[in-house]
Amino acid sequence: MSKISKICILGGGTAGWMSAAALSSKYSALGYEIDLVESDQIGTVGVGEATLPHIRYFNRALGINEADFMQATEATFKLGIAFKDWGRIGDTYIHPFGDYGMPMEGLDFHQIWLKLRQMGLKTRLDDYAYPIIAAEQNRFKMPGEELNEIGSNFGYAYQFDSHLYAKFLRVYCEARGVQRTEGRVVDVTLDSLSGDVASITLENGHTIDADLFIDCSGFRGVLIEQALKTGYEDWSQWLPCNRAVAVPCEARGPLVPYTTASARKAGWQWRIPLQHRTGNGYVYWNEFISDAEATDQLMRSLEGPALADPKQLYFTTGKRRKLWHKNVVCIGLSGGFLEPLESTSIHLIQEGITALIEHFPVSHIDALDADEYNRRMDLNFERVRDFLLLHYVATQRDDSEMWRYFSAMQLPDSLRDKMDAWSRRGYVLEYEIGVFLPPSWIAVMLGQNLMPVGYDPRVNRYPPDKLFQFAEKIQTASAKAASETPTHIDFLTQYGAASKTAPLTAAPMHSQ
């Protein structure tokens, strides 16, 4: 078979332009012809506006200047996610990007805290996590060089306008030779021998052929599903929310360095603070709430006037049976949908791109690469699924049909084992492939009141005084580091990342 020379990316949302940016940068010397086909008539979903710290490495690999990017996308810094009303109504906790405390001679800090708590200590585990304290006080700074030092023991991500991010990347891509074609796909031709996608035809009759297609066409999966009939694994038995309504509004109050996810009776609501506006959305299960009611609840809860009409989305949680099938790799929503409760939408795009680059066809499309890509991405998706489901099942809520559905649910073994191990002794089952590390699991389990009955007995070899002193030192240092941290808005401005335009308003003032 001949070498790969033409790549066609179908779809120009976040997934499409991120893919195009990575491929055009990584393979700039190879002279690939990269076509990106998108249609202005088809809106992009752009639900993912909050990210995980890994996005920084993606941008850095592209050589993107951080302040420029933040300014262009109205981005804010993100230290974690605040979860409201998840364990019980009235509860709040922050899932931070960073560790709790520091290990003592190889023992995880939370084990020490669990023991001290049994001895009467009244502090929260959060009091030993710098990123939580900084987030609660609405402060931000960059981590320092020494990542083990209190005040530097955290990661950060962004909240940004994903449409602006796609636009930003489009400029980047076009400067690197990516050819953008406007149009809708009306026909897909398969190679009669191999069954590969040979070409796509647009409504103006224009035909684009390619050796490799990247399907970023969103939920519809124009190539991976409509053309190749790859099949979809439906996960709605575990994650049954199937609709969302999204609307931006005017920003009110201080600019906080975190996303908020508030549990509701039939789903949950997000709030994403950007510089020019606030993003809002309500993810729900239509079994227990009507679209109109969900929209009404969302609109009534907005902090400021809405900036657009609410946008309705329909989805089925799950993933494509094969994320790489024949000569089509699906990245983004065409590959699967997991509700954006933990900001994994853009992250899974990034995982897909990283895995694609590691297994990018060298001389031809090889089943070995596709199989390995699928094995790895399947693990990524499944582990995110378990983590999302954890939020719904580690809860004491039983105040609605939805919460009662979850409390009666038969959990996947992988998740059940993880929750058992934690509840018994604060032990976190670890894996290597997958985005959420033990501190993330601890944040959610503890934040939703899953308090272990025991702790790691190795803690008992230390005299309690030593443990108290150790904990106190970390608590003091964390509080001090937070108090010396500038406010989020001050840091953003001083960093050169502040937007040059005024925040959006619902009723723009008429010019005189």
The reply to whether 451 sits near another protein by the rule CB under 8 A is no
Please tell me the distance from the alpha carbon of residue 82 to that of residue 93, in angstroms, as a whole number: 6
Please tell me the distance from the alpha carbon of residue 71 to that of residue 50, in angstroms, as a whole number: 16
Residue of 52, 51, 91, 436 whose CA lies nearest to 263:
91
Positive or negative: CA dihedral 251, 252, 256, 259 = negative
Whose Cβ is closer to another protein: residue 303's or residue 417's? 417
The reply to whether 498 sits near another protein by the rule CB under 8 A is no
78 tagged catalytic? yes
Whose Cβ is closer to another protein: residue 5's or residue 476's? 5
The reply to whether 145 sits near another protein by the rule CB under 8 A is no
In whole angstroms, how close is the CB of 170 to another protein at the nearest point? 21
Per CB under 8 A, contacts with another protein among 13-72 are 26-30, 61
- Tokens found for residue 9: 């990316």
Of these, 326, 359, 385, 391, which contacts another protein (CB under 8 A)?
359
In whole angstroms, how close is the CB of 360 to another protein at the nearest point? 6
Determine the 3-state secondary structure of 350 from DSSP. helix
Whose Cβ is closer to another protein: residue 78's or residue 359's? 359
The reply to whether 175 sits near another protein by the rule CB under 8 A is no
Whose Cβ is closer to another protein: residue 149's or residue 490's? 149
Determine the 3-state secondary structure of 394 from DSSP. coil
Mask 409-448, x = binds another protein (CB under 8 A)? Answer: --------x--xx--xx-x-xxxxx---------------
Please tell me the distance from the alpha carbon of residue 445 to that of residue 87, in angstroms, as a whole number: 9
* Cα distances (Å, whole numbers) of residue 65 to 74, 304, 347, 496: 14, 32, 20, 11
Given the residues 78, 84, 141, 326, the one annotated as active site: 78
Mask 361-390, x = binds another protein (CB under 8 A)? Answer: -xx--x-xx-xx---x--------------
The reply to whether 468 sits near another protein by the rule CB under 8 A is no
**Largest CA-CA distance found in the chain, in angstroms, rounded:** 78
Whose Cβ is closer to another protein: residue 24's or residue 71's? 24
In whole angstroms, how close is the CB of 290 to another protein at the nearest point? 42
Q: What is the DSSP code string of 223-292? A: IIIIIT---EEE-TTTS---EEEEEEE---S---SEEEEEEETTEEEEEEE-SS-EEEEEEE-TTTS-HH
Whose Cβ is closer to another protein: residue 85's or residue 99's? 99
Per CB under 8 A, contacts with another protein among 75-114 are 105-106
Determine the 3-state secondary structure of 321 from DSSP. coil
Residue 338 main-chain phi, psi, to 5 deg: -125, 130
What's the order of all strands across the beta sheet hosting 207-209?
185-190, 197-202, 207-209
Q: What residue ranges bind another protein (CB under 8 A)?
A: 26-30, 61, 105-106, 357-360, 362-363, 366, 368-369, 371-372, 376, 417, 420-421, 424-425, 427, 429-433, 454, 456-462
Residues acting as catalytic residues: 78
